[in-house]
Structure formats: structure tokens, C-alpha cells
Structure 1
Amino acid sequence: MASVLLTNADIDHVAGLLSLREAQSFSLLATPGVHQVLRTSSAFDVLAEGVVERRKVELGASFDLVEGVSATIFPVPGKIALYLEAREEADTGALVTDRQGEQTIGVELRLGEARVLFIPGCAAMTDALRERLAGADVVLFDGTLWRDDEMALAGVGAKTGRRMGHMSMSGAEGSMAALEGLDIGRRIYVHINNTNPVLIDGSPERVAANRAGWEIAEDGMEILL
């Protein structure tokens, strides 16, 4: 493994770094804001200096992720990680947005002529984001929830998808509707929560997603360009 590029500081995005502490050399790339979050937690000191190179990458800048793969990061609508919110904000349910644009990003990868967009977290669709996604060979997009109140319906939490900074797949304001009609080679949902019925092969939700041209990511999936 040569590089790890973080798209945000959510627990499910950074916790895996702690299993890479056995003096394994790699580059850790993130925005200055996400690097600051890691610096404030002593747990991440196990990524020893001199072994793990911590590289700051700026929004809009292109850089080599690994040999033959260049990357550009860009801000997407989102929010800071839930565990970084102040207690009073968490209790009131206030949505703490990412005002600086460094806590939630998307990644555009270029492999030769191919263009791949990776956006595992997105709170809303914008005209600028639609324009960037148009013409991509592959789009890997936030598929956390099928519907906004899914967590409450499943009895596993009170927060809505919007409160957590995620668009729903379905509905008039969902990602399927937002990206309908765009010229995209393959569109694949990733970052899918275990409450999402789209994970069930043959479910009405899976059928609807497939009919709309979406694939559902799975372990071991390979994408040929």
C-alpha cells in the first residue's frame, strides 16, 4: 500500500488507520482540516513520524496518489464528524456544516484518459457538483440511506440522513433523481449503511436502483476501465 487519502474525519473513515501502525510506510493524504483533527487525538500518534508521511493537500490541487494515478480533491456539501460536534449542538440536533470546505471532500481520479469520481459522503447536490460528475467514466457515490428517516424506522437511531450529512438515494431530492440524465459510464453506490434495504438482492429498493442505472458495491468488486 502506497497511499491513503482521507475524504473526511468520520470514525468509519479514519479508524482503520489504527490497524496500520506496525511500522508500515505509506503516505497519509488529507486536507489541513482533517490532519488537524488527527493531530488532536493522541491515538493516531501510533502512525509514527518518519514512517508515515503526512501530506497536506489543498482543494483544487492535482497530485499523484500513486504512480499512474493522479487525484484532485474538491469540496462537497457536508458537515463535520458527529463526534466533533459540541454537546449542545448534538443535543439540539443542529446541523453543523463544514464551512471551510475541508471536512467533506470528493476525489477525482485520473488513470490515463479515464476519469473516476469518488464521493462517499454528500449532503446535497449542487449545480457545480453535477457539472463535475457529467461525463465521468465511473461515479462512486454516497449510498448511506435509502430514505431520510430510515434509521428511526429501523429502531437503531433518531438521526435523519440529512442530520448526518447524507443525501438519500430515493425521493425527489435523492441522489438517483439528482443524477438522472447525466452522461455517466457507470454509477455505483458505496458507503451503504446496514439498514439500507438496497443491500438485499431482489428487494424493491434494489430493483428500483438497478432500473435507474445504479450498481450496488460489494466486497471484492473490481472495476475495469
Structure 2
Amino acid sequence: MMKIIVLGSAAGGGYPQWNCNCRNCDGLRRGAIRSRARTQSSIAISANGSDWLLVNASPDILAQIRATPALQPARAARDSGIAAVLLMDAQVDHTTGLMMLREGRPIPLYCSAPVWQDLQGGYPLAKVLGHYCGVQWRELAVARGEPCSFAVPQLEGIRFTAVPLDSKAPPYSPHREQPQPGDNIGLLAHDLLTGKKLFYAPGLGAVAPLTAAAMREADCLLVDGTFWTEDEMMAQGFSGKPAAAMGHLPQSGAGGMMEVLDGLPASRKILIHINNTNPILDEDSPQHAIMRGRGIELAYDGMEILL
């Protein structure tokens, strides 16, 4: 049986964000709203409960490992349950945690060619890690804009498919304004024993046909819940950019994530990568009630999913 642990469920900056006094962050600190603190988004997937694929390495990875005993099985003097790392993109909040894993063996790293290019150039983490543990790159070949199936040796019984998504490359990427297939991927994980499938996409700007097909296959969807509205950051005075310009599909409105999820057969529909400004974080808010009324869950740190 495939097991998924949500290590972190917030967007970049976490929740509460260190320098933010929006209604949510201030309310959580003061205990004035019913909500949960969250670290930056990442999940772990396992077939046997001992060997795990870390999907995105957030800046909060050390705290997430401490909070997740399964990631430290203590089989040797130095050990880790993290068998390999997979990156969905090259964003800071999904890659910086690699630096915290530098004391171990070379890191088997699964990512697309555009992400690897960014980690060599605009944000050269791979080069820096070469002076420590080193990185063993495993290419996810989605450069032609087609899905790529692959296996991770320590996760026998799970077949993975990388699906190129419509989204944005990081600001430091040379193709920020000229998207390439593989800048951002979704991940379909298929347990060959149970037949169950998970689709994970914490960054999703639009639902293209390939994405829609993967989402229809899934028994569990764990997808982008960053913003409630297209103008959320603008309305609160935190940014001059709408959600689409940052590579995210908001939940509400025509064609929004809730509308997309309404038409899909998955038995579980879960939002992850929640920005600190999103009103659904307040569990007594009308927006949270609307979300739950449509059968949609909100991911939280430590959430476990069995498929």
C-alpha cells in the first residue's frame, strides 16, 4: 500500500510568514482565529514505510524530518529514510532544503532538464552541493511536452509519471517569460498492487489536456491551493501581480480550482501549498465552509494518506 505524508502544506514563506501581519498571520499568532501553523510544502511517498521519495526539499526540511519519525529509521550510525529527492520545479521554496541534506551520501535527484539547468545556473545549488555530498541527476524527460514514466529503485511497486504543467519558471530562470516543458511538473504515483493513484501538483497555473487526463486518473488529488482569488495579493497590498502571473490557479471564480475539482471522479480532493493570505486557512471563514461544502479538504503538516 502506498503511503503519503504531507511534510509541509504552506506556500513559500510558511504560515505564519515571518514578516507578515495579514489577518491570518496576525490572528494565528494571537490565537484570535481557528487555524494551524504550516511549513513550506513538501510530501514524502513510500511503498514499504522505510524508504521514501522526498518530493520537493523545502527550507523547512530539518523541522519536517524531526516531526516525521518515519524519515529517520536509525538503521545505522548515520541513516535516513530519504532514498531519493524529486523536484517539481526550481523554486526556492521547493529546493533550498537540498542544502540541509549535504552531510549524507550523494543525493539521487529526479528533475527535468529545465530545472537542472536552473540548478546549475540561475540558482546553482547543484554546483554548491558538488563540494559536499554531490548530486546524481536522474532526468525526467518531459522536454517534448509529453508525460514521462519512471521508477525509483527503492520504491518497488510504485510507478511514477511526470506530467509537464502550464506554470511559471522561477524569477532567476532564463526562461521565466518563455516557458519550457518541464519548468513545472505534476506527479502521478501509481501503486501497482492496489491500483490506486495519487496526482500531486502544488504549482498549477492552468489545466491543460495532459493535466486534465492525469487528474481524471487519480483516486486522490493533492493540488495547488495557493490563492482564493485571482487578485488576492493585490487586494491586500502585498503584490502587484495576479495569481496567474505567479503560476497559480485560484480556487474561486469561473474556471477556478474548485470548479475543476467538481468535475473529477477522485474520492479525495485536497488543496496544498496554501498561501498565508488565503482565507481558507481560517477554519471558521465562509471560504473554508464553501471549500468543505464541495467535498474539498485542506492539507496540513503531518497529514497521512494511504492508497
Q: Give me the TM-score of the superposition, normalised by structure 1.
A: 0.88
**Residues 46-57 of structure 1 mapped to structure 2, 5 A cutoff:** 46-48=128-130, 51-57=134-140
Which residue number in structure 1 is paired with residue 187 of structure 2?
Answer: 107
CA contact (8 A) 1:125 1:175 kept: no
Q: Residues 143-194 of structure 1, C-alpha deviation per residue, up to 9 Å, x if partnerless?
A: 1100011112222222110110110011112111122131111111011111
Which residue number in structure 1 is paired with residue 268 of structure 2?
Answer: 186
**Residues 127-142 of structure 1 mapped to structure 2, 5 A cutoff:** 127-142=209-224
Which residue number in structure 2 is paired with residue 81 of structure 1?
Answer: 170
Deviation of the 1:24 alpha carbon: 3.6
Q: Which runs of 5+ in 1 are unaligned?
A: 87-94
2:95 is the alignment partner of 1:6: no
Which residue number in structure 2 is paired with residue 61 of structure 1?
Answer: 148
CA distance in 1, matches of 2:269, 2:287: 16
Which residue number in structure 2 is paired with residue 92 of structure 1?
Answer: none
Residue in structure 1 matching 2:117, options 36, 56, 60: 36
What is the count of residue pairs matched by the alignment?
216
CA distance in 2, matches of 1:151, 1:223: 31
CA distance in 1, matches of 2:137, 2:88: 14
CA contact (8 A) 1:130 1:179 kept: no
**Residues 152-167 of structure 1 mapped to structure 2, 5 A cutoff:** 152-167=234-249
CA contact (8 A) 2:204 2:247 kept: yes
2:306 is the alignment partner of 1:224: yes
Name the SS for the 1:19 alignment partner: helix
CA contact (8 A) 2:225 2:272 kept: yes
Output the amino acid matched with 2:115.
V
Which residue number in structure 2 is paired with residue 89 of structure 1?
Answer: none
CA distance in 2, matches of 1:119, 1:185: 17
Over 3 Å counting, the alpha-carbon distance change for 1:212 and 1:148 in structure 2 is same
CA contact (8 A) 2:169 2:184 kept: yes
Deviation of the 1:85 alpha carbon: 5.9
Residue in structure 1 matching 2:228, options 143, 146, 152: 146
Q: Which runs of 5+ in 2 are unaligned?
A: 1-81
Name the SS for the 2:262 alignment partner: coil
Output the amino acid matched with 1:102.
G
Over 3 Å counting, the alpha-carbon distance change for 1:61 and 1:135 in structure 2 is closer
Structure with more contact order per residue of length (Cα contacts < 8 Å, sep ≥ 6): 2
CA distance in 1, matches of 2:118, 2:137: 13
CA distance in 2, matches of 1:85, 1:26: 25
Cα RMSD, aligned residues only? 1.9
Deviation of the 1:42 alpha carbon: 4.0
Q: Aligned residues: percent identity?
A: 36
CA distance in 2, matches of 1:155, 1:130: 33
Q: Which stretch shifts more, 213-222 or 174-183?
A: 174-183
Deviation of the 1:43 alpha carbon: 4.1
Over 3 Å counting, the alpha-carbon distance change for 1:9 and 1:43 in structure 2 is closer
Over 3 Å counting, the alpha-carbon distance change for 1:26 and 1:84 in structure 2 is closer
Name the SS for the 1:157 alignment partner: coil
Deviation of the 1:80 alpha carbon: 1.4
Q: Which stretch shifts more, 67-76 or 18-27?
A: 18-27
Output the amino acid matched with 1:104.
N
Name the SS for the 1:38 alignment partner: helix
CA distance in 2, matches of 1:203, 1:24: 46
Q: Which aligned segments of 4 or more residues in structure 1 are displaced greater than 6 angstroms? A: none
